[in-house]
Structure 1
Amino acid sequence: MTEAARHEAVARTGPAPSHTGGGTAAPSAPGHHPAEQPPARRRTGATAPGPCPETRPDGGLHDGPAAHSGHPGPEPGRGRGPGRVPILMYHSVSANPTPATRSLSVTPAAFARQLAQLAEDGFTTTTISGLLAARQAQPGAGEQARRLVALTFDDGYADAHSTVLPLLRRHGFTATVFVTTGWIRDAGRGVDVGGRLAPMLRWGQIAELHQEGIEIGAHTCTHPQLDQLPTRTLRHELEHSRAVLEDRLGAPVSTLAYPYGYHSARVRDAVREAGYLASCAVRGAVSRPGEDPFALPRLTVRRDTGPELFRRLVTARRLPAAVWRDRAVTAGYLVVRRGRSVWGRVCDQ
Protein backbone atom coordinates (compact mmCIF):
# COMPACT_ATOMS: atom_id res chain seq x y z
CA MET A 1 0.00 0.00 0.00
CA THR A 2 1.32 3.44 -0.89
CA GLU A 3 1.90 6.27 1.58
CA ALA A 4 -1.05 8.10 0.02
CA ALA A 5 -3.28 5.09 0.55
CA ARG A 6 -2.31 4.99 4.20
CA HIS A 7 -3.29 8.63 4.67
CA GLU A 8 -6.63 8.00 2.96
CA ALA A 9 -7.25 4.89 5.03
CA VAL A 10 -6.71 6.60 8.37
CA ALA A 11 -9.06 9.42 7.40
CA ARG A 12 -11.77 6.82 6.91
CA THR A 13 -10.93 3.80 8.99
CA GLY A 14 -7.25 3.57 9.89
CA PRO A 15 -4.06 2.83 7.93
CA ALA A 16 -2.88 -0.39 6.43
CA PRO A 17 0.11 -2.34 7.70
CA SER A 18 3.53 -0.92 6.86
CA HIS A 19 5.75 -2.39 4.15
CA THR A 20 8.93 -4.22 4.91
CA GLY A 21 11.89 -1.91 4.46
CA GLY A 22 15.55 -1.36 5.15
CA GLY A 23 17.52 -1.08 8.33
CA THR A 24 18.02 2.00 10.48
CA ALA A 25 20.67 3.59 12.60
CA ALA A 26 18.37 3.14 15.59
CA PRO A 27 15.77 0.37 16.07
CA SER A 28 12.78 1.09 13.85
CA ALA A 29 9.58 -0.45 12.63
CA PRO A 30 9.73 -2.12 9.22
CA GLY A 31 9.43 0.21 6.27
CA HIS A 32 10.24 3.40 8.14
CA HIS A 33 12.99 5.84 7.33
CA PRO A 34 16.05 5.94 9.59
CA ALA A 35 15.72 8.49 12.38
CA GLU A 36 18.31 11.18 12.75
CA GLN A 37 20.65 10.99 15.74
CA PRO A 38 19.17 12.79 18.75
CA PRO A 39 20.77 15.91 20.20
CA ALA A 40 21.18 16.32 23.94
CA ARG A 41 17.80 15.52 25.41
CA ARG A 42 15.65 18.44 26.42
CA ARG A 43 12.90 17.44 28.79
CA THR A 44 10.29 19.62 30.42
CA GLY A 45 7.90 18.22 32.94
CA ALA A 46 4.18 18.09 32.42
CA THR A 47 1.39 17.19 34.77
CA ALA A 48 -1.16 15.08 33.01
CA PRO A 49 -3.99 12.67 33.80
CA GLY A 50 -3.24 8.96 34.06
CA PRO A 51 -3.73 6.42 31.31
CA CYS A 52 -7.12 5.98 29.71
CA PRO A 53 -8.60 2.84 28.13
CA GLU A 54 -7.51 1.81 24.65
CA THR A 55 -8.74 4.33 22.08
CA ARG A 56 -9.61 3.50 18.50
CA PRO A 57 -8.47 5.92 15.78
CA ASP A 58 -11.78 5.79 13.93
CA GLY A 59 -12.56 8.06 11.05
CA GLY A 60 -16.19 9.14 11.44
CA LEU A 61 -19.07 10.08 13.70
CA HIS A 62 -21.81 7.68 14.63
CA ASP A 63 -24.76 7.55 12.29
CA GLY A 64 -28.25 8.36 13.47
CA PRO A 65 -31.70 9.61 12.50
CA ALA A 66 -30.60 13.23 12.32
CA ALA A 67 -28.38 12.41 9.37
CA HIS A 68 -31.36 11.32 7.28
CA SER A 69 -34.19 13.44 8.63
CA GLY A 70 -34.01 16.15 5.96
CA HIS A 71 -34.41 18.84 8.62
CA PRO A 72 -31.89 21.64 8.90
CA GLY A 73 -29.18 21.11 11.47
CA PRO A 74 -28.79 22.99 14.72
CA GLU A 75 -27.43 26.49 14.76
CA PRO A 76 -23.63 26.57 14.85
CA GLY A 77 -22.42 25.51 18.28
CA ARG A 78 -25.91 24.53 19.46
CA GLY A 79 -25.76 20.79 18.82
CA ARG A 80 -22.57 19.95 20.68
CA GLY A 81 -23.28 20.75 24.31
CA PRO A 82 -21.28 22.91 26.72
CA GLY A 83 -17.56 22.90 26.14
CA ARG A 84 -17.57 20.50 23.18
CA VAL A 85 -15.22 21.70 20.45
CA PRO A 86 -14.63 20.30 16.94
CA ILE A 87 -10.95 19.82 16.10
CA LEU A 88 -10.65 19.76 12.31
CA MET A 89 -7.81 17.85 10.66
CA TYR A 90 -6.40 19.11 7.37
CA HIS A 91 -3.33 18.09 5.40
CA SER A 92 -2.46 19.97 2.19
CA VAL A 93 -4.38 22.98 0.84
CA SER A 94 -3.52 23.05 -2.86
CA ALA A 95 -5.18 23.58 -6.23
CA ASN A 96 -2.74 21.11 -7.81
CA PRO A 97 -1.88 18.50 -5.18
CA THR A 98 0.42 15.61 -5.86
CA PRO A 99 -1.22 12.21 -6.45
CA ALA A 100 0.03 11.17 -3.01
CA THR A 101 -1.79 13.99 -1.20
CA ARG A 102 -4.83 14.58 -3.41
CA SER A 103 -7.42 12.59 -1.45
CA LEU A 104 -6.60 14.38 1.82
CA SER A 105 -6.06 17.83 0.33
CA VAL A 106 -8.58 20.64 -0.10
CA THR A 107 -8.52 23.39 -2.70
CA PRO A 108 -7.66 26.95 -1.64
CA ALA A 109 -11.12 28.05 -2.82
CA ALA A 110 -12.84 25.43 -0.67
CA PHE A 111 -10.69 26.29 2.34
CA ALA A 112 -11.45 30.00 1.89
CA ARG A 113 -15.19 29.20 1.82
CA GLN A 114 -14.87 27.10 4.96
CA LEU A 115 -13.12 29.89 6.84
CA ALA A 116 -15.72 32.39 5.64
CA GLN A 117 -18.46 30.03 6.82
CA LEU A 118 -16.87 29.77 10.26
CA ALA A 119 -16.58 33.56 10.48
CA GLU A 120 -20.18 34.09 9.36
CA ASP A 121 -21.42 31.55 11.90
CA GLY A 122 -19.59 33.29 14.73
CA PHE A 123 -16.86 30.75 15.42
CA THR A 124 -13.54 31.64 17.01
CA THR A 125 -10.48 29.53 16.25
CA THR A 126 -8.03 28.24 18.83
CA THR A 127 -4.83 26.24 18.91
CA ILE A 128 -4.62 22.89 20.69
CA SER A 129 -2.67 24.53 23.51
CA GLY A 130 -5.25 27.31 23.60
CA LEU A 131 -8.07 24.79 23.91
CA LEU A 132 -6.37 23.11 26.86
CA ALA A 133 -5.78 26.47 28.54
CA ALA A 134 -9.40 27.52 28.00
CA ARG A 135 -10.68 24.33 29.58
CA GLN A 136 -8.38 24.66 32.55
CA ALA A 137 -9.43 28.28 33.09
CA GLN A 138 -13.14 27.68 32.55
CA PRO A 139 -14.17 24.03 33.07
CA GLY A 140 -17.50 23.19 31.44
CA ALA A 141 -17.36 26.40 29.44
CA GLY A 142 -20.58 27.82 28.10
CA GLU A 143 -21.58 29.72 24.97
CA GLN A 144 -18.17 31.12 24.16
CA ALA A 145 -16.53 27.68 24.26
CA ARG A 146 -19.34 26.21 22.18
CA ARG A 147 -18.28 28.63 19.43
CA LEU A 148 -14.67 27.48 19.46
CA VAL A 149 -13.16 25.41 16.66
CA ALA A 150 -9.57 24.19 16.36
CA LEU A 151 -7.90 23.93 12.95
CA THR A 152 -4.98 21.51 12.64
CA PHE A 153 -2.67 20.69 9.71
CA ASP A 154 -0.61 17.51 9.62
CA ASP A 155 2.80 16.73 8.09
CA GLY A 156 4.08 20.27 7.39
CA TYR A 157 3.29 20.95 3.73
CA ALA A 158 4.66 24.16 2.22
CA ASP A 159 1.16 25.43 1.46
CA ALA A 160 0.61 25.88 5.20
CA HIS A 161 2.77 28.98 4.74
CA SER A 162 2.00 30.04 1.16
CA THR A 163 -1.76 29.42 1.14
CA VAL A 164 -3.14 28.72 4.60
CA LEU A 165 -1.44 31.55 6.48
CA PRO A 166 -2.76 34.40 4.25
CA LEU A 167 -6.30 33.01 4.45
CA LEU A 168 -6.10 32.70 8.23
CA ARG A 169 -4.84 36.29 8.44
CA ARG A 170 -7.86 37.49 6.47
CA HIS A 171 -10.19 36.36 9.25
CA GLY A 172 -7.88 36.80 12.23
CA PHE A 173 -7.86 33.01 12.70
CA THR A 174 -5.17 30.77 14.12
CA ALA A 175 -4.27 27.07 13.82
CA THR A 176 -1.86 24.33 14.87
CA VAL A 177 0.60 22.88 12.33
CA PHE A 178 2.09 19.48 13.20
CA VAL A 179 5.51 19.11 11.56
CA THR A 180 7.35 15.91 10.66
CA THR A 181 10.91 17.07 11.29
CA GLY A 182 12.59 14.60 8.92
CA TRP A 183 10.44 15.90 6.06
CA ILE A 184 11.33 19.58 6.48
CA ARG A 185 12.60 20.75 3.10
CA ASP A 186 15.92 22.02 4.43
CA ALA A 187 16.07 19.58 7.34
CA GLY A 188 19.81 19.27 6.92
CA ARG A 189 22.33 16.51 6.57
CA GLY A 190 21.77 13.65 8.99
CA VAL A 191 18.21 14.82 9.66
CA ASP A 192 16.53 14.54 6.26
CA VAL A 193 14.81 11.14 5.99
CA GLY A 194 13.30 11.58 2.51
CA GLY A 195 9.91 10.14 1.65
CA ARG A 196 8.18 13.50 1.19
CA LEU A 197 4.73 13.33 -0.37
CA ALA A 198 4.71 16.94 -1.64
CA PRO A 199 6.70 20.19 -1.24
CA MET A 200 7.28 20.67 2.48
CA LEU A 201 7.92 23.64 4.75
CA ARG A 202 11.37 25.14 5.20
CA TRP A 203 12.70 26.18 8.60
CA GLY A 204 12.31 29.87 7.79
CA GLN A 205 8.64 29.34 6.93
CA ILE A 206 8.06 27.37 10.12
CA ALA A 207 9.63 30.21 12.09
CA GLU A 208 7.35 32.74 10.38
CA LEU A 209 4.27 30.64 11.13
CA HIS A 210 5.35 30.57 14.77
CA GLN A 211 5.89 34.34 14.79
CA GLU A 212 2.40 34.83 13.36
CA GLY A 213 0.86 33.00 16.32
CA ILE A 214 0.40 29.64 14.63
CA GLU A 215 1.15 26.84 17.06
CA ILE A 216 3.88 24.45 15.88
CA GLY A 217 3.42 20.92 17.16
CA ALA A 218 5.40 17.73 16.63
CA HIS A 219 4.49 14.93 14.22
CA THR A 220 7.54 12.71 14.94
CA CYS A 221 10.78 12.48 12.94
CA THR A 222 9.87 9.94 10.25
CA HIS A 223 6.04 9.61 10.37
CA PRO A 224 5.95 5.97 11.56
CA GLN A 225 3.10 3.92 13.01
CA LEU A 226 3.99 4.59 16.63
CA ASP A 227 2.08 1.71 18.16
CA GLN A 228 4.24 -0.78 16.22
CA LEU A 229 7.63 0.63 17.26
CA PRO A 230 10.03 -0.84 19.81
CA THR A 231 10.10 1.27 22.96
CA ARG A 232 13.54 2.77 22.31
CA THR A 233 12.62 3.90 18.79
CA LEU A 234 9.25 5.19 20.02
CA ARG A 235 10.96 7.41 22.57
CA HIS A 236 13.42 8.67 19.96
CA GLU A 237 10.61 9.66 17.58
CA LEU A 238 8.77 11.55 20.33
CA GLU A 239 11.68 13.17 22.14
CA HIS A 240 13.93 14.06 19.22
CA SER A 241 11.24 15.67 17.04
CA ARG A 242 10.21 17.86 19.96
CA ALA A 243 13.80 18.78 20.83
CA VAL A 244 14.60 19.72 17.21
CA LEU A 245 11.56 22.01 16.99
CA GLU A 246 12.26 23.65 20.34
CA ASP A 247 15.90 24.23 19.46
CA ARG A 248 15.03 25.91 16.15
CA LEU A 249 12.05 27.93 17.39
CA GLY A 250 13.42 28.84 20.81
CA ALA A 251 10.03 28.09 22.32
CA PRO A 252 8.32 25.16 24.05
CA VAL A 253 6.57 22.55 21.91
CA SER A 254 3.86 20.87 23.96
CA THR A 255 1.53 19.18 21.47
CA LEU A 256 1.80 16.23 19.10
CA ALA A 257 -0.31 14.53 16.43
CA TYR A 258 -0.08 10.76 16.01
CA PRO A 259 0.95 9.76 12.46
CA TYR A 260 -2.00 7.98 10.84
CA GLY A 261 -3.89 8.53 14.11
CA TYR A 262 -2.48 5.35 15.64
CA HIS A 263 -1.78 5.20 19.36
CA SER A 264 -2.15 2.88 22.34
CA ALA A 265 -1.84 3.07 26.12
CA ARG A 266 1.91 2.40 25.77
CA VAL A 267 2.28 5.18 23.20
CA ARG A 268 0.28 7.65 25.28
CA ASP A 269 2.42 6.89 28.32
CA ALA A 270 5.54 7.56 26.25
CA VAL A 271 4.07 10.86 25.02
CA ARG A 272 3.49 11.98 28.63
CA GLU A 273 6.99 10.95 29.62
CA ALA A 274 8.45 12.89 26.68
CA GLY A 275 7.01 16.10 28.17
CA TYR A 276 4.02 16.77 25.92
CA LEU A 277 0.81 18.21 27.34
CA ALA A 278 -1.59 16.90 24.68
CA SER A 279 -1.75 14.81 21.54
CA CYS A 280 -4.26 14.49 18.71
CA ALA A 281 -5.65 11.31 17.23
CA VAL A 282 -8.37 11.05 14.54
CA ARG A 283 -11.43 9.11 15.78
CA GLY A 284 -14.06 11.23 14.01
CA ALA A 285 -15.65 12.79 17.08
CA VAL A 286 -16.01 16.17 18.75
CA SER A 287 -13.63 16.96 21.60
CA ARG A 288 -15.26 17.11 25.03
CA PRO A 289 -14.22 18.50 28.42
CA GLY A 290 -12.76 15.88 30.73
CA GLU A 291 -11.46 13.57 28.01
CA ASP A 292 -7.90 12.28 27.91
CA PRO A 293 -5.77 15.13 26.50
CA PHE A 294 -3.49 12.49 24.97
CA ALA A 295 -6.24 11.13 22.74
CA LEU A 296 -7.97 14.26 21.45
CA PRO A 297 -10.38 13.31 18.64
CA ARG A 298 -10.35 15.09 15.30
CA LEU A 299 -12.67 15.35 12.31
CA THR A 300 -11.12 14.88 8.87
CA VAL A 301 -11.64 17.54 6.19
CA ARG A 302 -10.85 16.20 2.72
CA ARG A 303 -11.30 17.16 -0.91
CA ASP A 304 -14.91 15.96 -1.11
CA THR A 305 -16.03 17.78 2.06
CA GLY A 306 -18.71 20.12 0.69
CA PRO A 307 -20.37 23.05 2.49
CA GLU A 308 -23.18 20.96 4.03
CA LEU A 309 -20.86 18.23 5.26
CA PHE A 310 -18.50 20.87 6.64
CA ARG A 311 -21.39 22.39 8.57
CA ARG A 312 -22.20 18.96 9.97
CA LEU A 313 -18.63 18.60 11.17
CA VAL A 314 -18.54 21.87 13.08
CA THR A 315 -22.08 21.57 14.47
CA ALA A 316 -21.78 17.85 15.36
CA ARG A 317 -24.62 16.70 13.15
CA ARG A 318 -24.33 12.97 12.56
CA LEU A 319 -22.61 11.68 9.45
CA PRO A 320 -23.86 9.11 6.90
CA ALA A 321 -24.26 5.37 7.49
CA ALA A 322 -21.14 4.58 5.43
CA VAL A 323 -19.15 5.46 8.54
CA TRP A 324 -20.45 2.27 10.19
CA ARG A 325 -19.06 0.16 7.36
CA ASP A 326 -15.72 1.90 7.69
CA ARG A 327 -15.68 1.23 11.42
CA ALA A 328 -16.43 -2.45 10.89
CA VAL A 329 -13.30 -2.68 8.74
CA THR A 330 -11.32 -0.76 11.35
CA ALA A 331 -12.50 -3.05 14.14
CA GLY A 332 -11.25 -6.11 12.29
CA TYR A 333 -7.88 -4.60 11.50
CA LEU A 334 -7.51 -3.30 15.05
CA VAL A 335 -7.40 -6.89 16.30
CA VAL A 336 -4.50 -7.54 13.94
CA ARG A 337 -2.67 -4.38 15.05
CA ARG A 338 -3.01 -5.24 18.71
CA GLY A 339 -1.54 -8.67 18.07
CA ARG A 340 1.36 -7.17 16.14
CA SER A 341 1.94 -4.62 18.89
CA VAL A 342 2.04 -7.28 21.62
CA TRP A 343 4.47 -9.38 19.57
CA GLY A 344 6.65 -6.32 19.01
CA ARG A 345 6.84 -5.64 22.74
CA VAL A 346 7.79 -9.28 23.39
CA CYS A 347 10.62 -8.98 20.86
CA ASP A 348 11.66 -5.67 22.42
CA GLN A 349 12.27 -7.26 25.82
Structure 2
Amino acid sequence: GVIYLVSDLNYNKWDVDNEENPERNFKLMDTKQILEMKEYGIEFGGHTLTHPRLSKIDLELAKNEMLKSKITIENKIGCPLYSFAYPYGDLNESLKSFAKEIGYPFAVATDSGPGIFSEDLYQIRRIAIFPTNNMFNFKRKVSGKYIINKLGKSF
Protein backbone atom coordinates (compact mmCIF):
# COMPACT_ATOMS: atom_id res chain seq x y z
CA GLY A 1 0.00 0.00 0.00
CA VAL A 2 0.93 3.64 -0.38
CA ILE A 3 -0.01 6.30 2.14
CA TYR A 4 0.24 9.90 0.96
CA LEU A 5 1.51 12.14 3.74
CA VAL A 6 0.78 15.78 4.41
CA SER A 7 4.05 16.80 6.03
CA ASP A 8 3.29 19.97 8.00
CA LEU A 9 -0.05 19.29 9.71
CA ASN A 10 -0.81 17.12 12.71
CA TYR A 11 -4.57 16.79 12.10
CA ASN A 12 -6.97 16.72 9.13
CA LYS A 13 -7.39 20.52 8.95
CA TRP A 14 -8.58 20.42 5.31
CA ASP A 15 -11.59 18.27 6.30
CA VAL A 16 -12.33 19.94 9.63
CA ASP A 17 -12.36 23.42 8.05
CA ASN A 18 -14.62 22.36 5.16
CA GLU A 19 -17.71 24.54 5.70
CA GLU A 20 -19.85 22.51 3.28
CA ASN A 21 -19.12 19.13 4.85
CA PRO A 22 -16.99 19.40 8.00
CA GLU A 23 -15.57 16.18 9.38
CA ARG A 24 -14.42 15.39 12.88
CA ASN A 25 -10.88 16.22 13.87
CA PHE A 26 -8.46 13.28 13.92
CA LYS A 27 -4.75 13.16 14.61
CA LEU A 28 -2.43 12.32 11.72
CA MET A 29 0.35 9.77 12.16
CA ASP A 30 3.45 10.86 14.01
CA THR A 31 7.00 9.98 12.97
CA LYS A 32 7.14 6.89 15.20
CA GLN A 33 3.95 5.49 13.64
CA ILE A 34 5.15 6.27 10.11
CA LEU A 35 8.47 4.51 10.68
CA GLU A 36 6.72 1.50 12.19
CA MET A 37 4.47 1.23 9.13
CA LYS A 38 7.54 1.54 6.89
CA GLU A 39 9.02 -1.48 8.68
CA TYR A 40 5.91 -3.47 7.67
CA GLY A 41 6.43 -2.60 4.01
CA ILE A 42 4.08 0.37 3.65
CA GLU A 43 5.27 2.88 1.05
CA PHE A 44 4.80 6.60 1.48
CA GLY A 45 4.22 9.32 -1.08
CA GLY A 46 4.06 13.10 -1.08
CA HIS A 47 0.83 15.02 -0.61
CA THR A 48 2.08 18.63 0.05
CA LEU A 49 2.83 20.58 3.21
CA THR A 50 -0.73 21.70 4.04
CA HIS A 51 -3.15 20.03 1.54
CA PRO A 52 -4.17 23.09 -0.55
CA ARG A 53 -6.02 23.07 -3.86
CA LEU A 54 -2.82 23.48 -5.85
CA SER A 55 -4.33 24.90 -9.04
CA LYS A 56 -6.04 27.64 -7.01
CA ILE A 57 -2.88 29.06 -5.44
CA ASP A 58 0.12 30.88 -6.87
CA LEU A 59 2.30 28.51 -8.91
CA GLU A 60 5.44 29.30 -6.87
CA LEU A 61 3.54 28.56 -3.65
CA ALA A 62 2.26 25.30 -5.18
CA LYS A 63 5.82 24.32 -6.14
CA ASN A 64 6.96 25.09 -2.62
CA GLU A 65 4.17 22.93 -1.15
CA MET A 66 5.21 19.99 -3.34
CA LEU A 67 9.00 20.29 -3.08
CA LYS A 68 9.37 21.08 0.63
CA SER A 69 6.95 18.30 1.53
CA LYS A 70 9.01 15.82 -0.52
CA ILE A 71 12.22 16.89 1.20
CA THR A 72 10.65 16.81 4.67
CA ILE A 73 9.16 13.35 4.28
CA GLU A 74 12.27 11.86 2.66
CA ASN A 75 14.37 13.16 5.56
CA LYS A 76 11.87 11.74 8.05
CA ILE A 77 11.68 8.24 6.55
CA GLY A 78 15.21 8.00 5.19
CA CYS A 79 14.35 6.99 1.63
CA PRO A 80 13.09 8.60 -1.60
CA LEU A 81 9.41 9.10 -2.39
CA TYR A 82 8.28 7.60 -5.68
CA SER A 83 4.82 9.07 -6.07
CA PHE A 84 2.81 12.19 -5.41
CA ALA A 85 -0.95 12.57 -4.89
CA TYR A 86 -2.51 15.89 -5.85
CA PRO A 87 -4.73 17.04 -2.96
CA TYR A 88 -8.39 16.75 -4.00
CA GLY A 89 -7.14 15.38 -7.35
CA ASP A 90 -6.71 19.06 -8.29
CA LEU A 91 -4.06 19.47 -10.98
CA ASN A 92 -3.06 21.14 -14.21
CA GLU A 93 -0.23 20.76 -16.73
CA SER A 94 2.13 23.03 -14.75
CA LEU A 95 1.71 20.93 -11.62
CA LYS A 96 2.23 17.71 -13.57
CA SER A 97 5.46 19.13 -15.02
CA PHE A 98 6.67 20.17 -11.60
CA ALA A 99 5.96 16.72 -10.08
CA LYS A 100 8.22 15.28 -12.77
CA GLU A 101 10.85 18.00 -12.37
CA ILE A 102 11.26 17.47 -8.62
CA GLY A 103 11.82 13.76 -9.11
CA TYR A 104 8.56 11.90 -8.77
CA PRO A 105 8.43 9.01 -11.30
CA PHE A 106 4.61 9.27 -11.25
CA ALA A 107 1.68 11.13 -9.68
CA VAL A 108 -1.92 10.21 -8.98
CA ALA A 109 -5.12 12.21 -9.36
CA THR A 110 -8.60 10.99 -8.38
CA ASP A 111 -11.34 10.76 -10.98
CA SER A 112 -9.36 12.23 -13.86
CA GLY A 113 -6.80 10.81 -16.20
CA PRO A 114 -6.91 8.00 -18.73
CA GLY A 115 -8.25 4.54 -17.92
CA ILE A 116 -4.83 3.04 -18.62
CA PHE A 117 -2.26 4.48 -16.22
CA SER A 118 0.70 4.20 -18.59
CA GLU A 119 -0.88 6.79 -20.91
CA ASP A 120 -0.07 9.62 -18.47
CA LEU A 121 2.21 8.80 -15.54
CA TYR A 122 1.49 12.20 -13.95
CA GLN A 123 -2.29 11.85 -13.92
CA ILE A 124 -2.98 8.28 -12.89
CA ARG A 125 -6.53 7.62 -11.76
CA ARG A 126 -6.95 6.45 -8.20
CA ILE A 127 -9.98 5.40 -6.28
CA ALA A 128 -10.89 7.48 -3.27
CA ILE A 129 -12.34 5.74 -0.24
CA PHE A 130 -13.99 8.02 2.27
CA PRO A 131 -15.28 7.56 5.83
CA THR A 132 -18.80 7.88 4.41
CA ASN A 133 -18.40 4.84 2.12
CA ASN A 134 -20.41 1.87 3.33
CA MET A 135 -19.22 -1.73 2.99
CA PHE A 136 -20.98 -2.19 -0.38
CA ASN A 137 -19.21 0.86 -1.84
CA PHE A 138 -15.89 -0.22 -0.34
CA LYS A 139 -16.14 -3.70 -1.89
CA ARG A 140 -17.20 -2.21 -5.22
CA LYS A 141 -14.25 0.18 -5.25
CA VAL A 142 -11.62 -2.46 -4.42
CA SER A 143 -13.06 -5.13 -6.75
CA GLY A 144 -10.65 -4.30 -9.56
CA LYS A 145 -13.50 -3.45 -11.93
CA TYR A 146 -14.52 -0.10 -10.47
CA ILE A 147 -12.65 2.19 -12.90
CA ILE A 148 -13.56 0.10 -15.92
CA ASN A 149 -17.24 0.21 -14.95
CA LYS A 150 -17.07 3.91 -14.13
CA LEU A 151 -15.51 4.74 -17.51
CA GLY A 152 -17.94 2.47 -19.34
CA LYS A 153 -15.05 0.91 -21.27
CA SER A 154 -13.61 -2.50 -21.73
CA PHE A 155 -9.89 -3.04 -22.09
Please classify the TM superposition score into its range, dividing by the shorter chain length.
0.7 to 0.9
Instruction: Give 2:53's aligned residue.
Output: 225
Cα deviation per residue 1:250-284 (whole Å; 9 max; x = unaligned)?
A: 11112111111100011101111111111111107
Instruction: Give 2:29's aligned residue.
Output: 201
Which letter maps to 1:249? Answer: I
In 1, Cα distance between equivalents of 2:117 and 2:108: 14
Which letter maps to 2:3? Answer: V
Number of matched pairs = 137
Of the three residues 105, 120, 136, the one matched with 1:277 is 105
Counterparts of residues 123-162 of structure 1 (less than 5 Å): none
Q: Which runs of 5+ in 1 are unaligned?
A: 1-174, 186-193, 320-349
Instruction: Give 2:39's aligned residue.
Output: 211
In 2, Cα distance between equivalents of 1:295 and 1:311: 24
Matched position secondary structure for 2:38: helix
Following superposition, the deviation at residue 302 of structure 1 comes to: 2.9
Cα 1:225/1:199, change in 2 over 3 Å: same
Following superposition, the deviation at residue 224 of structure 1 comes to: 0.7
In 2, Cα distance between equivalents of 1:195 and 1:301: 18
In 2, Cα distance between equivalents of 1:203 and 1:256: 19
Counterparts of residues 313-332 of structure 1 (less than 5 Å): 313=141, 314-316=143-145, 318=149
Q: Which has the higher contact order (CA 8 A, sep 6+)?
A: 1
In 1, Cα distance between equivalents of 2:128 and 2:101: 28
Q: Are 1:181 and 2:12 counterparts?
A: no
Whether the aligned pair in 2 keeps the contact of 1:287 and 1:298 (CA below 8 Å) is no
Following superposition, the deviation at residue 290 of structure 1 comes to: 2.4
Whether the aligned pair in 2 keeps the contact of 1:218 and 1:257 (CA below 8 Å) is yes
In 1, Cα distance between equivalents of 2:29 and 2:69: 15
Of the three residues 69, 76, 81, the one matched with 1:241 is 69
Which letter maps to 1:276? Answer: Y
Whether the aligned pair in 2 keeps the contact of 1:284 and 1:300 (CA below 8 Å) is no
In 2, Cα distance between equivalents of 1:303 and 1:228: 26
Cα 1:180/1:289, change in 2 over 3 Å: closer
Of the three residues 301, 311, 316, the one matched with 2:129 is 301
In 2, Cα distance between equivalents of 1:228 and 1:303: 26
Give the TM-score normalised by the residue count of structure 1: 0.36
In 2, Cα distance between equivalents of 1:304 and 1:236: 32
Decide which structure has the larger Cα Rg and report it: 1
In 1, Cα distance between equivalents of 2:87 and 2:76: 22
In 2, Cα distance between equivalents of 1:228 and 1:209: 33
Cα 1:302/1:285, change in 2 over 3 Å: farther
Which letter maps to 2:73? Answer: L
Instruction: Give 1:290's aligned residue.
Output: 118
Matched position secondary structure for 1:296: coil
Whether the aligned pair in 1 keeps the contact of 2:10 and 2:27 (CA below 8 Å) is no
Cα 1:229/1:184, change in 2 over 3 Å: same
Whether the aligned pair in 2 keeps the contact of 1:286 and 1:299 (CA below 8 Å) is no
Which letter maps to 1:224? Answer: P
Cα 1:202/1:297, change in 2 over 3 Å: same
Matched position secondary structure for 1:279: strand
Residue identity over aligned pairs, in percent, reads 23
Following superposition, the deviation at residue 300 of structure 1 comes to: 2.3
Which letter maps to 1:293? Answer: L
In 2, Cα distance between equivalents of 1:272 and 1:305: 32
In 1, Cα distance between equivalents of 2:76 and 2:139: 37
